[in-house]
Amino acid sequence: MKKICETHLLKFEYVCPKCLKPFLKHTNFSSLDEIREYQRINAKKVNLSDKIEQFKIAGIIKTKFIENIVYSILLFYDINKERILNIRFKSYNSPYMKYFPSVLFLNHTDIYLNLIKDLPNYPDFYIVNSSGQIHPFFYGAACDFGLKTEIPVIGFTKNLLFGKIKDNEICFKHNDKEYRVRLLNRADKEEINILKIKKMNSMLMDKEILMEYDLREIYKQRGINIEEIESHIRKLSGSIDAIRLKQGKAIADKISKNVLEEYTQQIKDIENEASILLIQKSNLLKDSLENLLEEYFLRLKVIFAFEEKVGDKWQRVFKTMEEYNNFTDEILIEKAHYNNILLQFK
């Protein structure tokens, strides 16, 4: 359905071309028509098949726009171990902050590319909070990012520009057998919750498994104070906020570009230091009861959601956690976890 721009009294779909025009000076495009042609041409280049069979590390990117600053975070997530491996933070001065539906790749792609610049190692695939081919022109920011990096990208969005999801499942083949991962129903969730409670009670009875509070106390006795690490992280965050205020004032006062670049570098150095501390804290507490219970919960969700086709019916691949733990086909397990993550953002 077309809308009418209150400013230009012009009918449009998704975005008013005249409202968009002033912002195109920051891009390689001069009109909305050029953008649409670019999307149509590149949509045909998007490859929907996976180039690799094993997906182990996901790169999860989330962005947040506040005033004229863009904040981005990249999480490296191990699918098998269900654990965050690394974190990277960055902030940028965005050319424009206004929301223009269907053409978000104009600034999102550069934000994503800036975030992954100079990475020592790249993940097997990315998950970004932008549309992929669920897009009126079959080419959202996730597609643009994927073509430029040549790494598989999963795009997810809270609001569909068009269409609707019909099926709550993802089907795939492995060794000529059909499998699927489906969304959990209420009965599944209730059963999983009961199993989680039983597991928690069992873990609480095991004196070898320590709660996070107890681990913190033991580390403190050995000279490692996690509260001090957290305090230092908060101070670093405060330092970043202070530098951003200086950065904003410098922009308003039209201070030289060198000064702005110096502020940006200071923020980058502090963010890197904060990332190291966050990883250190995560590694110290990874064996706490709370963390082990969360890992158990994530495995349970895959156990209940992962099914194989037998005849004309679907049945669970794993009946118990023991079957899951003893399963030897690691590639199939990776595919199950990968598609389970994908389904959450479908």
pLDDT value, residue 162: 54
HSE (CB half, 13 Å, CA atoms) of 317?
27
Q: For the chain, how many residues are written?
A: 346
Q: Which residues of the chain have pLDDT under 70?
A: 1-2, 49-53, 67, 95-97, 158-167, 252, 342, 344-346
| Six token digits for residue 203 | 């873990």
pLDDT value, residue 12: 85
Which tens digit of pLDDT belongs to each residue from 86-141? 888 888 777 666 778 889 888 899 899 989 988 878 888 999 988 888 788 888 99
Bridge partners of residue 128, in order along the sequence = 61, 155
CA 79, chain centre distance (Å): 13
pLDDT value, residue 212: 93
Secondary structure string (H, E, C) spanning the chain: CCEECCCCCCEECCCCHHHHHHHHHHCCCCCHHHHHHHHHHHHCCCCCCCCCCCCCEEEEEEEEEECCEEEEEEEEEECCCCEEEEEEEEEEECCCCCCCCCCCHHHHHHHHHHHHCCCCCCCCEEEECCCCCCCCCCCCHHHHHHHHHCCCEEECCCCCCCCCCCCCEEEEEECCEEEEEECCCHHHHHHHHHHHHHHHHHHHHCCCCCCHHHHHHHHHHCCCCHHHHHHHHHHHHHHHHHHHHHHHHHHHCCCCHHHHHHHHHHHHHHHHHHHHHHHHHHHHHCCCHHHHHHHHHHHHHHHHHEEEEECCEEEECCCCHHHHHHCCCHHHHHHHHHHHHHHHCC
| Boundaries of every domain in the chain | 3-155, 184-327+339-344
Contact 327, 205 (CB under 8 A): no
Asked if the 3-155 domain carries CATH number 3.30.2170.10, the reply is yes
pLDDT value, residue 165: 46
Percent of the chain's residues with pLDDT above 90: 35
pLDDT value, residue 164: 45
Bridge partners of residue 220, in order along the sequence = none
Torsions phi, psi for 61 (to 5 deg): -115, 130
Contact 95, 68 (CB under 8 A): no
